[in-house]
Each structure stands twice: as C-alpha cells, then as structure tokens.
Chains A and B, each alone.
Chain A
Amino acid sequence: MAEVRLNAIKKSFGPVEVLHGISIDIASGEFVSLLGSSGCGKTTLLRIVAGLESVTSGTVEIGGRDVTDLPPEKRDIAMMFQSYALLPHLSVAENVRFPLRMRRIGTLDEQRDKVRDALETVQLGHLADRRPNQLSGGQQQRVALARAIVSRPQILLLDEPLSNLDARLREDMQVELIEIHKRLGLTTLFVTHDQEEALSLSDRIILLNKGKIEQEGAPREIYAQPATGYASSFLGAANLVSANITEEAGGPVATLADGQTLPVGKDETRRGPAVVALRQEDVAIKPKGEGVIEGKVRTRVYLGARNRYVIQIGKEEIRVLAPHDLDFERGETVGLAIDPARLRVLSEGE
C-alpha cells in the first residue's frame, strides 16, 4: 500500500501530444477511477504508472519514491489487463504463482499457500490445475484478478477489466472488486469508459477528456454537479440544450431557441447565452399542458423496465427516460416537467 503522485505528466506519440500535463495525487488505500471516452488518454496514463510507457515530461512517484525512469519490474505494482493476459502455457495455479516466483516472494510452501488463498478469494480454488484456455471468460478474469492481488502490490492497476464480460457477470465482479478492495485496502487505479462502473466502485473519479482532467471528485459529487458539458453528457447521459438566461420577476429563467421558457434554480448567477444540461431521468413526461414546456414525441424505444423517448423541442431533440406504464404515441405533443434544482446551467463552449 502506498500513495501515488503523478506530477505534470505529458506524453507525446510522435508529434501528437496525448496527455497535456496531468497531476494526480492518490492517497494510500484509495480507489480512484480514470473515466473517459476512448482516446482520452486514460489507458496511456495507466501504462505510464505501470512503467510500460515512458513519459515525455513529468514525474511518477509511488510510495514517496520517484519511479519515473524505473522499468515495470522494479515498480511494486500489479496490473490487470483488459484481455486478462494469462500465460497460456501455465496452469491456473502457476499463473497466479508467477508474480511470487518472479519476485522471489516467500518459500515454495508459502507461495503455495498464497496462491490457494488468492484463488479462494475469487472462488476458483477447484480450477487450480486447469489451463487458461479451458476456462470461461468470467473465470479467466477471476484468475487475472487473483494473480494481480496475490503479491499484495503497492498499487493495483486495472485496465478496463470488466469490459469483456456480459452484464450479469460484470455486476457480480463489481461487487467482488468492492469487497476485495475493502478487505485488502490496496491503492487502486481503475481505468474505465463505463460511468456506472466508475460511480459504483470508486472513492474518487477523475474524468479525462482529450488528455486533460475535466473534473475530479467523489462519485456523488461529480454526478450531482458536473462542471462542464462534457462531464454532464458523460455522467448520466444528459441532454445539452442551448438557452438564454435572463432575470425575471420570479427568478432566473432560461429561454430556449424556440421561445419556450424554463425556470432555473434561484441561486443561478449566470446570465446570457448558456447551455442547459438535463439528465434523461430528471425530465418527467406529462400529458399535454401539464409540464413547464412542451415538445413532440419523435421516437419511442422500449427498454423493458423503462421507455426512452426522443422529444423534439423546436429544432433540438432531447432524450427522456420514462416509466414503462406511461404510453405516448409518436407525433403526440407532450408536456415536460423539470425540477429547477436538477437542471444545471453551464457556460457555452464547455
């Protein structure tokens, strides 16, 4: 267990700079997610911490030690790959023992005990003698996790480890990851493009966009108060609608492009052209005349527990999640109710 300090990390591939000076402090035992769409540099940053990629400038410290120029094997880390990277010529038990063997940790008997413990932790004790190619995807993933935690590294690095699993297994693994993190208290850096995963697992989320930190904070904080348009569209898939904020008698009001008005929170101080972020689940569909604004149903997508409606307001479209027992037809005009407290006003161009 140790803290990690990334100091003004820059990384260029040829003429293209992919990380523009990123500084992150991770406390000992903290679970931090690097969240972002593909190409935002999150995996590159993880590989820099692992030592698989060099930095163009900046420093990496693990446990107070500057490891910027150390190769991966000299950093006390463990990494779990998206493709699991199990060694196909070794059995499951040998795979899990590999880091212990290579780092010469403990005697043979101690190593065997640790391997057994790690495999029990991920509930795979009975498959120790199998080869990786005889296991299912979910089982391989557990082996990879066991291998990552067996040596109790200072830092655990996870590179989208859940993205190759089906939805059901992914939920199980999320619970398991939380429990293992709680029990072992390993400092963990987790890379994902899945906002739900980041929200459910982390102590802190760092949202990356185009090689820069867009926003960071606790899951609740970052979900409730996304600071930018990118942040709000990424977390909770919010709709971004351009509007003009003006002061009216009853408080500030947003005027949409088609002239409809929408009250915003009383303490909103921004005025003039802006962007309003509306989360899909925060907009309620009502029969015509009952909401604060009106729109026309363009499409309805049946999702089982809920329906997703695409509603046209003037020239803009927004997406809305509604309970499955509400039924509106295509082309119908509906009212939309929006709680002013749930709506966020962002300045244009963010």
Chain B
Amino acid sequence: MTDRAENSLLILPGLLLLVLAFFVPIAQMLMLSVSGENGLTLAHFTRFLSDPYYLNVLWRTVRLSAIITLICALIGFPMAYIMAHVSPKLRLWLVIMVILPLMTSVVVRTFGWMVLLSRSGLVPEVLRDLGLVGRNFSLMQTETAIVIGMVQVLLPFMTLSILGVITRIDSRLEEAARTMGCSFLKTLRTVVLPLSVPGIVAGSLLVFTLSASSFVTPNLLGGARIQVLAASIYRSVTQTLDWPFAAAQAVILFLGIIVLLMPYARLSGRSNG
C-alpha cells in the first residue's frame, strides 16, 4: 500500500465523523428550508424577506452582534495588553477572572443581570438616586441589557485571542518605538495595535458568530418584544411548529454570517502572510 493510500485510509474515520456530525445536519437544514407541501419552494425565504418584522429582527441581530464585537474589542485590547505585561502570577489570576463568567451557567448569570438591571435593581436605582434618569427607568427588556449581558460572556474569547498574539510581540519593539519618539499611547497605536490585528480578527470572528447565534441571554434580557434571529427560530420550532420556516431562518443566519465574515477572514490571512 502506498503512503498516500495509507494516509487516506487513516483520515477516513475522522472524515466520516465530520460528515455525519456536521455536513449531514446542514444538508438536512438546507433541504428542509426549501421543502414545501408540493415539492421544492422558496416560499419560506420570500416570506422572511418580504416581512418588515423579520427583516427588522435580522437587522437587529446583525447590529447588536456588531456592537457587542466592537465593545469586546475596545475592552479586550487594553485588558489583554495589561495581562501581557504583568507578572505571570498576576496574569494567571486575571485570566481566571476573565473566564469566570464562562464557568457559571448561562441561566444563573442571566438572572443575575436581571436582578441588577430591573426597575428595582441596583443599577437603575443608583442612576435614579444620582438623578440621571426618570422614575420609571429600567434597563430590562432593552437592547442595552442584551449588549451588557453578551459582552460579559463573550469578552474572554476576545481577550484571550488578543492575549495570545500580544504576548508574542517582542517587548524590544515597544522600547525601540519609544526611543524613536513615540509616547506610550503612540507606541500602542503604531506598533502594538497593528501587530495585534490577527488576534483582534480571530476574537472578532468568535464574538460575532457566537453573539449572532446566541439565544438564551438575548431572550431573557431583551424579552419577547426585542427578538433576535436565534430566538425567532426557536419560536418557529417550538410554538408555531413551522420547521421549514425555522430552517429558512437558520439558513439566512448562516449565510449572513458567512458573507459578513468573508472579508474579515481575508484580512487575517493577509496579516499572517
């Protein structure tokens, strides 16, 4: 048996698993999304794309995911920079602190936010006491609540992605930049930031995909009025039992994410080369 044949044979079990666990369900979803009562149909897609309600849900999903990604990057980059420059012991504690939200159950965490953000919760009460907001102010069932809750969960993905890249930047480069006339902040902008791009791209891909497809947190913090696509899919499956329509929405989410992420992936490919 040649080496090549042997290799192909060895790769077979993995390939089989991948096909069964990954491609079959996606193929099934694709099939389901175009199946109607009398054969193939695009009716589910036209229904989605012609209904302003669903278009609004789609737009909200994309918009919120983008905002969440941006905020994660804005917090994650300085955080990763600090983590990369403290002592290894302190770094370990910071890493634990950052990934702590991932270790608690999504339901517990989200109920925690509900306690904090509801009308009688800590955050609105403090804001009220400071006279910054009106008497009926509540953060629950707002997009702000969704963003806050999601940023907390997804921040570790961004921070750790950037941390991995920043720790590999030679500290001499920053020192060299300082001797060439850069202030600390200018060094961050002209040296550290450009060299962190691969990490920021990888983190953004993770955060965007995860937030676009997340369902529990937006549903609990945003309530029934503020629907995101994943929650809408869930409702189609469990409440209206319209599986083909749910599949169509899933395909749209899937394609939407791919289209949005394509240029991003190319960006990271270029900065690696």
Contacts and interface: CB of A to CB of B under 8 A. Distances in A.
B186 A85 contact: no
B241 to A, nearest CB: 54
B230 to A, nearest CB: 37
Interface string A141-165: 0000001000100000100000000
Chain B interface, DSSP helix/strand/loop, else mixed: helix
B180 A50 contact: no
Chain B, interface residues (CB within 8 Å), range = 10 to 19
B172 A87 contact: no
A328 interface: no
Contacts of A102: 177, 180-182, 186, 190
Contacts of B242: none
B178 A83 contact: no
A83 B172 contact: yes
A77 interface: yes
A103 B195 contact: no
Contacts of B172: 81, 83, 85
A73 B173 contact: no
Nearest to A83: B172
A89 B194 contact: yes
Contacts of B184: 71
Nearest to B172: A85
Interface string A69-102: 0011100011101010101110000000011001
A44 to B, nearest CB: 13
Contacts of B181: 73, 99, 102-103, 151
Contacts of A51: 178-179
Contacts of B195: 88-89
B183 interface: yes
B179 A71 contact: no
B175 interface: yes
Interface of B: 170, 172-173, 175-184, 186, 190-191, 194-195, 271
Interface of A: 50-52, 71-73, 77-79, 81, 83, 85, 87-89, 98-99, 102-103, 147, 151, 157
